[in-house]
């Protein structure tokens, strides 16, 4: 049986809830703070970009796509003077482990890990720079962290494809944030965390207004259709790993991970706009 993009999206979303805790857990923030880099989101750029090695800010600007260049340049390469890429990656991993074990305890995830790793075995690196970098990194020893790491690989593979979809739709970084925020009710979060000025944001809105994609009420029908197209392309480009796992494997993985996902959602570590989609 064929694995559809919709089924692949469901599988990704189930595992993504565990992975995304690394962006919000206080233990991770505390681990970053110990490096003493005052720049906003320095730890995020350093840990997520650590698989590239001590890279220049331009690589982060290019591959992370939606962050204001000045926000990235305030943190990179200063973060590499404060710690090696390996130290930043370890800080994130240790913080995630602390949070997940606090919420989930010591669950038996051996079967889930086996299935998730099989999905990752079907991923390919061509045209996927962030995924490609992370695919060369070693897997953690902790089984629960292995499940999180599988989520990382699948997420970054999907994210690389999402950038392709945004470029194909003609949405620059600010326009992507404006339309995506309106589509997912996350405007406040993306507007306050991606580093764009009010003037840059307003200019992006006006560009979208000129294209008939937004109006005073939010996304127009054309804007909703365009965002739907972006998500459709993203889903299509993200199928390969899940197709490798197969429909039966996906069903079993979702069955195994769903109780863990529900515990994470109930823990309160994730923002309301993510929990509301749970």
Q: What are phi and psi for residue 89, nearest 5 degrees?
A: -65, -40
* 275: pLDDT strictly greater than 60: yes
Residue pLDDT, tens place only, 217-234: 999 999 999 999 999 999
- HSE, side-chain direction, 13 A CA sphere, residue 169: 29
Q: Which stretch of 29-33, 90-94, 133-137, 274-278 has the lowest confidence by average pLDDT?
A: 274-278
pLDDT digits (tens, 9 = 90+) for 5-39: 999 999 999 999 999 999 999 999 999 999 999 99
Domain boundaries, the chain: 5-266
To the nearest whole number, what is the mean pLDDT of the chain? 96
Task: Output the pTM of the full model.
Answer: 0.96
Q: What is the pLDDT of residue 32?
A: 97
């Amino acid at each position: 049986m064929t694995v559809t993009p919709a089924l692949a999206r469901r599988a990704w979303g189930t595992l993504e809830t565990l992975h995304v805790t690394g962006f919000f857990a206080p233990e991770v923030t505390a681990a970053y703070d110990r490096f003493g880099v005052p720049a906003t989101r320095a730890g995020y750029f350093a840990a997520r970009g650590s698989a590239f090695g001590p890279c220049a800010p331009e690589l982060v600007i290019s591959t992370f796509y939606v962050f204001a260049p000045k926000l990235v340049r305030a943190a990179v390469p200063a973060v590499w003077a404060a710690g090696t890429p390996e130290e930043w990656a370890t800080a994130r991993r240790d913080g995630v482990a602390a949070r997940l074990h606090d919420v989930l305890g010591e669950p038996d995830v051996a079967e889930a890990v086996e299935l998730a790793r099989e999905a990752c075995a079907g991923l390919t690196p061509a045209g996927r720079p962030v995924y490609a970098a992370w695919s060369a990194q070693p897997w953690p020893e902790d089984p629960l962290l292995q499940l999180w790491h599988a989520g990382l690989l699948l997420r970054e593979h999907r994210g690389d494809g999402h950038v392709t979809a945004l470029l194909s739709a003609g949405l620059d970084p600010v326009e992507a944030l404006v339309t995506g925020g309106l589509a997912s009710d996350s405007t406040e979060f993306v507007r306050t965390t991606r580093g764009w000025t009010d003037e840059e944001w307003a200019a992006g809105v006006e560009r979208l207004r000129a294209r008939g994609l937004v109006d005073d009420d939010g996304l127009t029908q054309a804007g909703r259709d365009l965002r739907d197209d972006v998500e459709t392309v993203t889903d299509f480009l993200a199928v390969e790993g899940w197709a490798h796992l197969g429909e039966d494997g996906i069903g079993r993985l979702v069955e195994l991970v769903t109780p863990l996902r529900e515990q994470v959602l109930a823990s309160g570590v994730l923002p309301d706009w993510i929990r509301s989609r749970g």
